[in-house]
Structure 1
């Protein structure tokens, strides 16, 4: 019997239908010589400290660091029934096809089970990017040898064990240090969550420490043969800051008075340039979360949940947990069928038909830049669109628009820059005239690029000629103040996590963070932010995130490497070596254990100053959800010493 092992029940059902396995069994679908079973995420979890020694049920400084000699896995109680079904099927299988999600974590979900159940038969790998029938059939016809993806498992296992070491040891350490100073809450520490928290703490401090600086601008209305347009005063460089803002009030006042008195301005330079803008890439998950936060007001986790439903339930989009916006050239041949399906499913796309060209290849089609996953795009199963409404419909339309944009012409416009002299003062007007709307025909207005605070108004200039004199209309002297940084929203924080390389000085680590798209993964960033909210490290007012007093105290106390995103880059370099077979898993874990032991020794004598009440789940602005309570219950306890383990111990 050939057994297919999937990650989720819905995924298993889709694959089973294509394979003809239509009979429902105990935790599986069966057919002629074929059985399809499923996990429910991870059916196993790394055992807690007390599984190694009962004394670890109590949190005691003298017991740290806790470093397992032989790592143990245990069956998750909630899904023990499905584990038994999978174990039985593995014992009966003559060969196995791993059909979990095509990434590190998906590989680990399957391989940890095979190891725990001692499966020793032949293995192949199904590598899926979408769950519509056509995509499944295509992947089934191109199964990979199991050995080709095995090292993904060891890389994921190394990351998991290193996260365990930090979570279990540093969370216990800082919770116990907090108690010594009178703080009775649990202080959770994690490899990704703590650098992420530091981003918000640093931003909040920048806002609190910000001192506004006054500056002055002048907006001058000119008339060219009776047609008004707007120009901006260009102050001398020696009177401006690095952003070009005039800091000298007297100079600005004198310039405004002089231009009012002059009455005319002469055109001294006129330049028109044809500008061409390529279509934006299809979405990766982080960019989708950023746009949905800004334009639709969605939280990062809510966006991921909607995208996952569009993928699993509706079959409308490809795999959503992608960190790549590029597309493989091999998929370009599917474009005519997908475009036709999109047009049939939604008659409102009819005006685009004359402009769409299925043969067009935008910059998105680039095999060299496609990793394990490609950009999030619609599938040919577009007829399900009519069943969507509300936010899922809006998210799908954003994804669809980015795909349609790849088959529309380049956006072109003429940019005209006109420089004037008015009483010895420099004025500049900038105008745009659209020549070819191109891909912008497909994008909803909500996707128009946002303008900066000091951006000149968009306008179309009247016909102008060199040397022309224009009448001066209104002269508006504006007294302004520099603005503090804006608080993070969830979308902004996702973007900051992706682009955290900007904060790292070491050029090698900076490049590594760029290559790995920052800290966290597309699949985990939303849950990291939600975890910080749930644990009370962050609060939410409207869209804005803010750090709590305990978050400030913790970031000030933890060793710099724990809160430094550069540490993640070092880890990722080592995990890449594990994935490439250049470093054994055991060596990676041994190095992490030694490093953690040094940190514990160095920090054991610290004195913490943590202000504010103990962290309580639910203070982050959303109701505490019962379904999450079991995994994080200890976070609400005043004393964790007589509890099984802290909730934070499994944090990333």
Structure 2
């Protein structure tokens, strides 16, 4: 919206107010013809333009001034901004948690059991924090057979996944193929420009009302989707499992039904992920049977858990569920105790972030936008603040320490979240952009004044690290 507003305002003699908007989310002939047949007056989208321009202004005044302050102090090319700061803080705080974690020992007791020749494992019901106690339980249960005292059966109906928004696509592409968020976005945009999918920069998990059967029928011409597509086309009604998140600009990502031509290996993987997710969301819930058996071994309770898929449904096309088999068990069954051991483990801190987990946290905390989060992560790596494995470098730590001591507001999630809330209100026409920009500028000036007063000390810190790196 901002691009169109700027072109119409500055290149077309303030034509925005008298222009019309063709709203479409896919570059197919049908979508474009429909959009131009239903043009909307641009004033309806003025809030989107105002919010976008305000966001660009805030990012500019914060980024250019804060980065200039760092460059001036260090005499090197450095950067920080209202989104870079909190994101770096997430990574540094997690690293501090990892480095300061003191592992504490605990013991898990596992029994290898057998029923009618079928082996399975049961775990003692409690975690043990004392080696002597763990050894005592093992000694008392050794060579003692078990008795099934209780069984709990549950049937779980696992709903199909919601349609992709950009965040979900980026996370899944990383989880399945280890693609970086920026690489996934670049591929998705290419697929969009080739009219294969809808516009990918969306927060929505909701598909628009459209002719789903027509798209699925076209997809059935691709051999790998034929069977699933045929089953869906036999349904009387197709209803997607829409998610809660919506986006006023664009719907969830969906395949257009256009047949792909000459996709490379990674492009096909992303396209295939989008198609399978789209098809899966129309399918019935998968049915899972979960069993929990409580087994008494010499008056100590062990628990064996199992699960099996009764109806695969959408798991046939979008599979991520792992079954765990248990032999058929009934109350009062005797199970043979083949072996029992205690295993010493140690508490662990949370792992370092990866692309998927960091994107999820940024989204949860309202840091950045769907379009900028991948770029922010890439910038932190490019600047040398973190490694490709999301481990902070010494420079990253130093930047964090300097900002935390002299400009703590820049690391604040609350500050950035507050700005995002105000941007939403601008979009809704509830507050004026000038008020938000004025307030942000006043806060920035206070931050910069403190930095300037301590510029020499900051410069020494930064230059020492930079010269030794």
The TM-score, its normalising length taken from structure 2, stands at 0.92
Structure 2 residue aligned with 1:499: 364
Alignment equivalent of 2:140, drawn from 249, 258, 282: 258
The answer to whether residue 429 in structure 2 is matched with residue 429 in structure 1 is no
Q: Secondary structure at the match of 1:427?
A: strand
Flag the structure with more relative contact order, 1 or 2, with Cα contacts below 8 A and sequence separation at least 6.
2
Structure 1 residues 584 and 370, CA, compared in 2 at 3 Å: closer, same or farther? Answer: closer
Please give the alpha-carbon distance, in whole angstroms, between the structure 1 residues aligned to 2:398 and 2:274.
41
Distance in 1, Cα, partners of 2:218 & 2:272? 14
Q: 1:284 touches 1:323 (CA, 8 Å); kept in 2?
A: yes
Which of 345, 370, 390 is residue 545 of structure 1 equivalent to? Answer: 390
2:309 alignment partner, SS class: strand
The 2-side partners of 1:267 and 1:122 are apart by: 77
Point out the more displaced range, 245-254 or 422-431.
245-254
> Could you tell me which residue of structure 1 aligns to residue 70 of structure 2?
174
Tell whether 2:113 aligns with 1:218: no
Alignment of structure 1 residues 155-554 onto 2, 5 Å: 155-176=51-72, 178-179=73-74, 184-235=75-126, 245-262=127-144, 264-313=145-194, 315-328=195-208, 330-331=209-210, 334-344=211-221, 346-353=222-229, 355-356=231-232, 357=235, 359-364=237-242, 369-381=246-258, 383-384=259-260, 386-443=261-318, 445=319, 448=320, 458-500=323-365, 518-540=366-388, 544-554=389-399
- 1:581-618 Cα deviation digits (max 9, x unpaired): 222222222112211112222332233233522699xx
Cα deviation code 1:286-325 (max 9, x no counterpart): 1211121222121111111111111112x11111111122
State the 1:370 CA deviation.
4.9
**Is 2:10 the counterpart of 1:116?**
yes
Cα deviation, 1:324-367, whole Å, max 9, x if unaligned, reads 22223x22xx11111111111x212233245323723243177x
User: CA 1:208–1:189 in 2, change beyond 3 Å: closer, same or farther?
Assistant: same
Could you tell me how far apart the structure 2 residues matched to 1:615 and 1:161 are? Answer: 36
| Cα distance, 1:159 vs structure 2 | 1.4
Q: Please give the secondary structure, in 2, of the residue aligned with 1:527.
A: helix
Partner Cα distance (2:248, 2:296) in 1: 53
Task: Note the residue ranges of structure 1 that are not aligned, 5 or more in a row.
Answer: 1-106, 236-244, 452-457, 501-517, 617-652
CA distance in 2, matches of 1:326, 1:219: 45
SS in 1 for 2:453: coil
Question: In 2, are the aligned partners of 1:204 and 1:547 still within 8 Å (CA)?
Answer: yes
More deviation, 275-284/202-211: 202-211
Q: Does structure 2 retain, via aligned residues, the 8 Å contact 1:281–1:325?
A: yes
**Could you tell me which of 11, 21, 25 is aligned with 1:129?**
25
Distance in 2 of aligned mates of 1:614 and 1:480? 42
How far did residue 207 of structure 1 move?
1.8
Contact 2:26 2:199 in 1 (8 A): yes
Paired positions, count: 457
RMSD: 2.1
Distance change in 2, residues 1:614/1:307 (3 Å)? farther
Residue by residue over 1:497-532, the C-alpha shift from the partner in whole angstroms, topping out at 9 and shown as x without a partner, is 1123xxxxxxxxxxxxxxxxx211111111111112
* Residues in 1 aligned to 2:387 and 2:339: alpha-carbon distance in whole angstroms: 46
Listed one character per residue, the Cα deviations across residues 222-252 of structure 1 (whole Å, up to 9, x for unaligned) are: 22233222211112xxxxxxxxx43221111
Identify the residue that residue 587 of structure 1 maps to in structure 2: 435
